[in-house]
A and B are shown apart, each in its own frame.
Chain A
Amino acid sequence: MKKFFTSDVLIIGGGTAGLFAAIRLSELNPQIKILIVDKADIRRSGCLAAGVNALNAYIGKNHTPEDYVNYAITDAHGIASRKLLHTMAQRLNHVTKVVERLGLVIETDSEGNYVERGWRNVKINGENIKPILADAVKRLPNVKIFNHVNITDFFRDGDKIIGAYGFSTREKIFYGFTVKATLIATGGASGIYLPNHAGGSRHQIWYPPFNTGAGYAMGIRAGAEMTTLEMRFVALRCKDTIAPTGTLAQGVGAAQINSRGELYQKNYGNTTSERVFAVTSENLAGRAPCYLKTVGISAEQEKFLYDAYLNMSPAQTLRWIETNQTPRNFNVEICGTEPYIIGGHTAAGYWVDENRRTTLQNLYAAGDVAGGCPQKYVTGAFAEAEIVAEKISETLNEIKMPAQIDFDASEFEKFFENDSAFTIEELEVAMQTTMDEYAGGLTQNYRFNERQLNLAAKNIERRVENLSENLHAADMYDLLKIYELRERLTVAKVLIEHLKARRETRWAGFAQNLDYPNRDEAFNLFINSITTDGKTKIIFRELGR
């Protein structure tokens, strides 16, 4: 069965950015009709499902938005947009106030100022941040929420985006949404590479395994310009649970040490990628494993750590207690993760202007799906959502309501009829193994050369992409898994082209091109791409915008 809806605005992905955009847009003009479509339930979907530890992007006392911009550009080794960062940074403290008003608990001192954790963080109780946002959105009469509807592609009219379509994750219902303006806010992509635990705990990863790069893939297929996909994000995480380490580093000041007990980080520098590179290098030099030094912290500090992790990665607290290897008595082993594509940490994603307009008309992007503007985190996603909401509300009157669009559901139906020699899981592993081995995955210490990248491209196409057309779906959940695989494949192919185009090594912790092992100032530029009919064209753009 097909169902059709029309509205003013479509928000694809009811996550951090998506929900905040709906809140701001409704505040600006409660007459605007908004549809929010999420593949899961907005109360606990996306990055915020388990909760977060702190608001990682904030301008502390005695600092300015410009300081934040400079910090982010340094951390990105130069590859970031000053303009985009600036428009975001200016709003960080304002959106923090807004989310506090919605009900988020933020620690304040006796004078009512936020308690800072370093100059860029504020302390919160982040466990319920997603339900708080969802409750606020549910109160808005102009917003209609579609939970458990997975979007697969945009509706296009030439260069214009006029909505999107997809399917229910539960029943055989296909949905079409026709609108004046669309915000893509589906987050980043995990699962393109072999994950940390390839076997029984394949989804014990840091980035949500259910953010599968749908937004990037839809943009790529529609011919949107993408930027800096080659700046993959490798996170430094607690071994086994893959829980964040920032809480340990910033909360109790834990330093990195190797298995000989040596402090080594000063030899490598202190950007995000350099901290990862430090661990990879120590491991390769025979000084594995590496740890965060927590031995000797107080009982009180330990209790605070338990609480902090329960609010964000409960597995870590369980592990400490279950194994009796508590952080007071045992240092916490650390490791790198599989490479993720996340525009909220690096600069990978849609190429957008200051208003977060993509290169496709009436399509906006915010949060982890949007590029050029790293170090966004939660509040940066909020800031971008506000920018989008303001621009949409300003321009909506100028846009004519498009006629309702139909779509061909046989694209989905065919998977129920297919007869495949392979399972979805087998092809997923084939993709992940190829990317891991030939395109610089975790087991390769993030290293690759050009010949390997060419092999990766060939294997992805021949071994996986062609076969994925014939996969069989027994139910709607299978259909979801097939589309998730296809999204990742689409992103993987363009990612390989980006990796090939950056003939240097810029962020050694995230990626090392062994043919070009050094930084090359000739690559002080953005690597962008547009894909047409499956062919990706690379475009070099200057940094100064």
Chain B
Amino acid sequence: MISIDRKKCVGCGKCIDICPGNLLELKNENVCAFCRDVRDCWGCCACVKICPVNAICYQLSADLGGAGAKLFAHDSKTKLIWEIIKLDGEKIFLEVDKRQANKF
């Protein structure tokens, strides 16, 4: 499921356009994005990648073994940097070079 940080969201609407399930909408007079129902999130992370201010993260629900860690993405032309923030604040960065194929 995704969660949206209302304080960070700038209401640009990019996530609303990109969600393959039409799950997001702008509310509060078009200043903030909301997910209609997080149970309907597929976990594709399209919104996580496109958010220009990293207001959206993906989290594993409790029934999937999640404990509150957050997954963010920093996207650019040549690389995609994933950032995991664990519950204790530890940050882990995983960088995927877009110019290279996966080894597996």
Residues of A within 8 A of B (CB): 39-41, 43-46, 49-50, 53-54, 105-107, 115, 117, 123-128, 147-148, 169-170, 197, 199-205, 208-210, 240-241, 247, 250-252, 301, 304-308, 310-311, 313-315, 317-319, 321-323, 477, 480
Question: Is the Cβ of A477 less than 8 Å from the Cβ of B36?
Answer: yes
Q: Closest A-chain residue to B41, C-beta based?
A: A203
- Contact A105-B82, Cβ < 8 Å, known A49-B44, A306-B94, A315-B43: no
Describe B's contact surface by its main secondary structure. Answer: loop
Cβ–Cβ < 8 Å partners of B66 in chain A? 319, 322
Binary flags per residue of B54-88, CB closer than 8 Å to A gives 1, else 0: 00001011111111010100000000101010100
- Give the residues in chain B near A321, CB-CB below 8 Å: 69, 84, 86, 92
What CA separation (Å) do A322 and B20 show in the bound complex? Answer: 26
Q: Does B100 contact A (CB under 8 A)?
A: yes
Shortest C-beta distance, A33 to chain B (Å), equals 25
Minimum C-beta distance from B1 to chain A (A): 7
Q: How far is the CA of A204 from the CA of B60 in the complex (A)?
A: 10
From A53, A169, A308, A313, B43 is in contact (CB under 8 Å) with A313
- Smallest CB gap from B36: residue in A: A477
Which of B41, B42, B60 is the one whose CB lies under 8 Å from A318? B60
B residues adjacent to A (C-beta < 8 A): 1, 17-22, 25, 36, 39-46, 58, 60-67, 69, 71, 80, 82, 84, 86, 92, 94, 96-104
What's the minimum C-beta distance from A335 to chain B, rounded to whole angstroms?
A: 12
Interface CB pairs A-B, < 8 A, 25: A40-B20, A40-B21, A40-B22, A41-B20, A44-B44, A45-B20, A49-B20, A50-B43, A105-B98, A107-B101, A127-B80, A148-B22, A170-B22, A204-B64, A208-B44, A209-B40, A240-B60, A250-B104, A301-B104, A304-B102, A310-B94, A311-B96, A311-B102, A314-B82, A315-B43
Complex Cα distance, B17 from A245, in Å, reads 30
Query: B102 contacts which chain A residues (CB < 8 A)?
Result: 53-54, 123-126, 304, 307-308, 311
The distance from the CB of A151 to the nearest CB of chain B, in whole angstroms, is: 14
Q: Is A200 a contact of B62 with CB atoms below 8 Å? A: yes
B21 in contact with A209 (CB, 8 Å): yes
> Which chain B residues lie closer than 8 Å to A148 at the CB level?
17, 22
Q: Please, which residues of chain B bring their CB within 8 A of the CB of A125?
A: 96-102
